[in-house]
Amino acid sequence: MSEKTKQSKMRSEAFVTASNAPVESLYDENSLGSLETFLSELGEPGNYPFTRGVHPSMYRSQFWTMRQYAGFATAEESNARYKYLLEQGQTGLSVAFDLPTQIGYDSDSDQAAGEVGKVGVAIDTLADMEILLQGIPLDKISTSMTINASASVLLAMYIAVGEKQGVSAEKLRGTIQNDILKEYIARGTYIFPPRPSMRIITDIFAYCKTDVPQWNTISISGYHIREAGSTAAEEVGFTLANGIAYVQAAIDAGLDVDDFAPRLSFFFNAFTDLLEEVGKFRAARRLWAKIMRERFGAKNPKSLMLRFHTQTAGSTLTAQQADNNIVRVTIQALAAVLGGTQSLHTNSRDEALALPSEESARIALRTQQIIAHESGVAETVDPLAGSYYVEATTQRIELEAASLIQKIDDLGGVVPAIEQGFIQASIQRSAYTYQKDIENQNRIIVGVNKFAITEPPPKGLMRISKSVEENQIRKLHQVRAQRDSVRLAAALTELKTAAEADANLMPFILEAVRAYGSVGEICNTLRSVFGEYKENVVL
């Protein structure tokens, strides 16, 4: 066999998507099944089943929100970065919190040592949140907060800062991720066991329905499921299965589906396989609309809409030849826009090595702005509709995702599926296959397993000083010394009593926050009632 023939054979065996789904050499009308069924499934933009987008005019009337994820070190430094990004044309905030904040520990806790301010901003008390948002008008800016186990506390802090700014809770706009189920599946920043965690989430739903009506109370996240190694169809299937669990929990808690479903939002990954990703977003939108109408009987059209934020795929970024990441992120961002995202974060070129520098963050934002203003893809709605390949991919992912949801239903729902290890094992198998393909060079990663070069260590990477932790602890101790300890003790006692009963926890958490109770103190109060979750490793 000649070398050319060998190369041709190797190439022909590689025609699969990033999710390892086979790709045919040509797609035509026979790839779509019944034309009548296809047209009914396609629909019109802004109408059920929302395959083509949740709004009739999409980006012709308004671009997606350009919401760059940022937060590091102290509240002061992160505040400066937010103001810089807003000056550069960013249209919404997205807050990254450090690990101690995410899992309910104060900066002076033994468990927090070495992690304060490292992967996000350190927030211990309301005093930190006041500094974080200083000079940012909360009645004009929407804010997304990537926080889950301690989401109730950080939302309460945001509400309290709004009060101090003279902005009522009714005017606050933004999102908390608040998706604890995917933490058990893929990410690990959980605190409490699943059932009390679901109670807290439904308490937030109920509280915000009346008191913070413009707030998106959950961002059901497939992003971390994909980062953990899932396929595109698994990202959709497992994410929507989590969504089903949240909707059912809220209904079981006495809420009407149309009272809370319009404030649900989703969060997806954008991989580099452009056309598969476009099909993924369209499939997710269509499948969720069917689930909400057929399974839950939702009648409000807004309850049927899958509105989502997208972040480009951090797991695809390489430390080698870091500037190549600019190209990867551009393709991924384009996939999100062609797929109809409502907001977008573009990763920075140096994130495989460190937190993004100011220059890298600006390039990432400029990537979105160039797509919006120069590429032309935002001029028409769902520009790839009717592509045989995109439509066939949309159908394939919808069917595969629906099959996964049925398997989870057969196991008794998401919580039993997590407890039995079904979801985790599925993701692990997909991740193993993907990594094995890279190591065998069946999948090429430019600059890593092909086209590699010898290069010097990059310069100008951002580093977090050790003094950040020391200064944060000092500020926390100052707040503790100056606050009204009697008021706080009473607030924490009332919170514990509420947790032991069945009262909505949000008013009690908010009172503890107003008394400058810390994230750790509030979460420890809840730990004393709910306990902590310990992962059951299934081999």
What are the pLDDT digits (tens) for 88-139?
A: 999 889 999 999 999 999 999 999 999 999 999 999 999 999 999 999 999 9
Q: For residues 440 and 249, give the distance between their C-alpha atoms in angstroms, rounded to a whole number.
A: 44
In a shared domain, residues 80 and 179: yes
Predicted pLDDT at 9: 47
In a shared domain, residues 338 and 203: yes
Average pLDDT of the segment spanning 417-433? 95
pLDDT tens digits, 273-290: 999 999 999 999 999 999
Predicted pLDDT at 40: 87
Kindly give the pairing relationship between strand 215-216 and strand 264-270: unpaired
pLDDT tens digits, 51-83: 999 999 999 999 999 998 889 999 999 999 999
**Looking at the DSSP assignment, which residues form a beta bridge with residue 121?**
73, 97
Q: Residue 85 maps to which CATH number?
A: 3.20.20.240
Q: Is residue 214 part of a domain?
A: yes
- Of 206, 248, 240, nearest to 221 (Cα)? 240
Q: For residues 153 and 125, give the distance between their C-alpha atoms in angstroms, rounded to a whole number.
A: 9
pLDDT-based confidence at residue 456 (cuts at 50, 70, 90): confident
- Of 234, 223, 134, nearest to 177 (Cα)? 223
In a shared domain, residues 434 and 479: no
Q: If DSSP states are collapsed to H, E and C, what string results for 272-307? A: CCHHHHHHHHHHHHHHHHHHHHHHCCCCCHHHHCCC
For the beta carbon of residue 162, count every other beta carbon within 10 angstroms: 19
Amino acid at 62: Q
- In Å, how far are 149, 257, 268, 283, 527 from 218, measured between CA atoms? 12, 14, 13, 20, 22
In a shared domain, residues 487 and 355: no
pLDDT-based confidence at residue 33 (cuts at 50, 70, 90): confident
Of 414, 439, 464, the one marking the end of a domain is 439
Predicted pLDDT at 112: 97
* The total number of structural domains that make up the chain: 2
pLDDT tens digits, 40-54: 899 999 999 999 999
Q: For residues 115 and 98, give the distance between their C-alpha atoms in angstroms, rounded to a whole number.
A: 7
In a shared domain, residues 506 and 372: no
pLDDT at 12 exceeding the cut of 50: no
Q: Which residues of 373-406 are buried (b: 16+ CB within 10 A; e: fewer)?
A: eeeeebeebbbbbeeebbbbbbbbbbebbbebbe
Q: For residues 165 and 160, give the distance between their C-alpha atoms in angstroms, rounded to a whole number.
A: 9
Predicted pLDDT at 13: 59
Structural tokens at position 388: 């045989």
Tell me which residue range forms the domain holding 312. 49-439
pLDDT tens digits, 301-351: 999 999 999 999 999 999 999 999 999 999 999 999 999 999 999 999 999
In a shared domain, residues 488 and 414: no
Q: Is residue 339 part of a domain?
A: yes
In a shared domain, residues 479 and 365: no
Q: Is residue 212 part of a domain?
A: yes
In a shared domain, residues 513 and 432: no
Q: If DSSP states are collapsed to H, E and C, what string results for 144-196? A: EEECCCCHHHHHHHHHHHHHHHCCCHHHCCEEECCCCHHHHHHHCCCCCCHHH
pLDDT > 90 fraction of the chain, expressed in percent and rounded: 91
In a shared domain, residues 217 and 297: yes
Average pLDDT of the segment spanning 212-222? 95
- In Å, how far are 30, 144, 363 from 279, measured between CA atoms? 18, 26, 27
Contact indicator for 18, 232 with CB cutoff of 8 Å: yes
Kindly give, in sequence order, each residue whose CB lies less than 8 Å from that of residue 96, ignoring residues fewer than 6 positions away: 69, 70, 71, 72, 119, 120, 121, 146
In a shared domain, residues 259 and 352: yes
What is the DSSP secondary structure assignment for residue 264, as one 8-state letter?
A: E
pLDDT-based confidence at residue 35 (cuts at 50, 70, 90): confident
Q: Which residues of 32-71 are buried (b: 16+ CB within 10 A; e: fewer)?
A: beeeeebeebbbebbeebbbbbbbeebbeeebbbbbbbbb
- In Å, how far are 146, 211, 302, 457, 469 from 171, measured between CA atoms? 20, 10, 20, 47, 34
Q: For residues 209 and 200, give the distance between their C-alpha atoms in angstroms, rounded to a whole number.
A: 14
